[in-house]
Structure 1
Amino acid sequence: MDIRNIKTFQTIIRLGSFQRAAEELQYGQSTVTMHIQKLESDLGVKLLERGKKLTLTEAGRLFHQNADLLLKDYDYLQASMDELVKGDAGIIRLGVMEPTASYRLPQLLGPFLRQHPKVKISIHIGNTTVLGQMLHEGSIDMAICSTPNTGLDHSFEPFFMERLALLVPETHWLASKPSIRLRDLQHEHLLITNSQCPYRQKLENALLENGGSPYSGMEIGNMAALKYYVQADFGIAVVPVISATPTPQGTVLKAIDDLDSGLVTGLLRKMNASTFSLATESLVEIFRKELKSAVSSAS
């Protein structure tokens, strides 16, 4: 059924004649007649008895009673699509890795959502491997994560370098050491994240290259929890600086001289990202501007 034919039918019933409906809708009377004939043909029933006075058939009365609801739903759908096209509405499915999810994202989303109150955002937190797979499967629209190991038809735009440092209890012998190198971590009890975590992978590769292995360790799945286990004297941990600033009471944050600058973090999206809504593109521009400037000013 053509929505125009339904509107024409409802206008005829409201005004009581084909001629008045044609005048209001700015159609020729033949066009109005054609709309009703097409509507009756689509439905397979007669809606109007034509005579000196228009009379609704039983089917016409039923259709008339329910057509307004259909038109209201259509108008709502049309308005929603218009808002989506203009960037005023939509749903953004965002994947984010830690510590960005906890320490950077909330400050960016607040102003964005105040400017776009009809935009809905769902946030999925995970490591780069998981987020890359979710993006590949279409479960999320984009991700803020580290550089992926495989392309999977994705593009990666670097935003900033997440700086890393060693967090130790203040009673640990490394707390008072003026200069720390990766070999100093050999045989230490390291608190580490799971094997898919890019921070752990970077640390283990650096330890192998710089004589810091072997080591013993406790695996803790949540990176945000590492600092609390260091505080409780379970071991030491290499953590993103932002996640341990300010340092928990009784701990010290130390630079590692031969651990290079950190982990590149940026935007992962599909190659056909031109399909993004205007609202999503607006959020990407905020990430592009605020994440780069905030991190460079903090460095």
Structure 2
Amino acid sequence: MDIRNIKTFQTIIRLGSFQRAAEELQYGQSTVTMHIQKLESDLGVKLLERGKKLTLTEAGRLFHHNADLLLKDYDFLQTSMDELLKGDAGVIRLGVMEPTASYRLPQLLGPFLRQHPKVKISIHIGNTTVLGQMLYEGSIDMAICSTPPSGLDHTFEPLFIETLALLLPEAHPLASKSSIQLRDLQHEHLLITNVQCPYRQKLEHALLERGGSPYSGMEIGNMAALKYYVQAQFGIAVVPVITATPSPQGTVLKPIDDLDSGLVTGLLRKMNGSAFSVATENLINIFRTELRSSTFTSS
């Protein structure tokens, strides 16, 4: 069924004649007649009895009663598609790694959603491995995470470097040192995240290469909780600087001189994925503008 034919039928019923409907719709009367004939042909029933006065058949009464709902749904769908094309509506499924999810994303999404109130965003928080798998399965459209282990199925666009530092209690012997090296962490009790966390992986590789062994660790699954365990003097932790600034009372945040740069964080997308909506592209541009560090280098 052509939606124009349905609109023509409803207009005829509202105005009471083919001629008045043709004048309002700015069609020729023959066009209006053709619309009704085509509609009746598509439905396989007669809708109107033509005579001195138009009369609805039983099928016509049923169709007329339900056609307004169909037209309203069509108009809503058309409006939604127009808004999608303009970037005013849509659904964005975003995967995000901590600490970006808690410390950076809310400040970026707030202004965006105020400007695009009809855009819906679903946020999935996980590590790079989990988010990469979700992207591969099509559960999310893109992710903000660390560099993935493989780039065969995805493209990765670096945006910024998450700087790391050592958080320790004020009374800890290392707190008074003017310079801290990775080897200083030997025999220390480190508070670490789970084995899939890219921050832990970076730290462990750096310790093996430059700090040596042994060291002991206590695993804490939530990165945001590390600073509170340091504050309670369960040990020391290498944390993203943003999560411990300002540092909790009774703790000190100090750089590790030979822990290179930090963790590269960026935008992960499917290599051959479908084109993004205008709203998604607008959000990506905000990420590029607000997250990209002017000091980032590929080295």
**When the two structures are superposed, what TM-score results if normalisation uses the length of structure 1?**
0.95
Amino acid paired to 2:110: G
- Mapped partners of 2:65, 2:152: distance in 1: 52
Residue in 2 that maps onto 1:219: 219
Asked if residue 49 in structure 1 is aligned to residue 49 in structure 2, the reply is yes
Aligned match of 1:267:
267
Following superposition, the deviation at residue 213 of structure 1 comes to 2.4
1:68 corresponds in structure 2 to 68
Matches within 5 A, 1:99-248: 99-248=99-248
Task: State the percentage of identical aligned residues.
Answer: 88
Whole-angstrom CA distance in 1 between matches of 2:258 and 2:172: 20
What stretches of structure 1 of length at least 5 have no aligned partner?
Answer: none
- Consecutive unaligned residues of structure 2, counting only runs of 5 or more, are none
Q: Is the Cα–Cα contact under 8 Å of residues 159 and 293 in structure 2 kept in the other structure? A: no
**Residues 100/295 of structure 1: CA separation in 2 closer, same or farther (3 Å cut):** farther
Letter in 2 for 1:179: S
2:31 is matched with which residue?
A: 31
Shift of the alpha carbon at 1:273?
5.3
Distance change (3 Å), C-alpha of 1:295 and 1:98: farther
Amino acid across the alignment from 2:283: L
| Superposed CA offset, 1:211-237 (max 9, x none) | 332221111111011110111111111
SS of alignment partner, residue 269 of structure 2: strand
- Aligned mates of 2:162, 2:295 — CA distance in 1: 8
Q: Could you tell me which residue of structure 2 aligns to residue 6 of structure 1?
A: 6
Q: What amino acid is the match of 1:100?
A: T
AA at the equivalent of 2:20: R
Deviation at 1:42, TM superposition (A): 2.1
After superposition, the CA RMSD in angstroms is 1.5
Q: Which residue of 1 aligns with 2:83?
A: 83
- Displacement over 3 Å in runs of 4+: 293-296
Distance in structure 1 (CA, Å) of the matches to 2:260 and 2:235: 22
The equivalent of 1:98 in structure 2 is: 98
Moved more, 261-270 or 274-283: 274-283
| Secondary structure, counterpart of 1:130 in structure 2 | helix
Cα deviation per residue 1:137-167 (whole Å; 9 max; x = unaligned)?
1111111111111225211111111000111
How far off its partner does 1:274 sit? 6.0
Distance 2:63 2:54 in 1: 15
Task: State the Cα deviation string for residues 225-267 of structure 1 (Å, max 9, x = none).
Answer: 1110111111111000110100011111111111100000111
What SS does the corresponding residue of 1:159 show, helix, strand or coil? strand
Cα separation, partners in 2 of 1:295 and 1:56, compared to 1, 3 Å: farther
Provide the C-alpha distance between the structure 2 equivalents of 1:293 and 1:254, rounded to a whole number of angstroms.
22
Q: What is the match of residue 19 of structure 2?
A: 19
Does the 8 Å contact 1:193/1:200 carry over to 2? Answer: yes
Verify the 8 A CA contact 1:136 1:152 in the aligned structure 2: no
Q: TM-score, with normalisation over the residues of structure 2?
A: 0.95
Tell me the amino acid that sits aligned with residue 22 of structure 1.
A
SS of 2:211's partner is coil
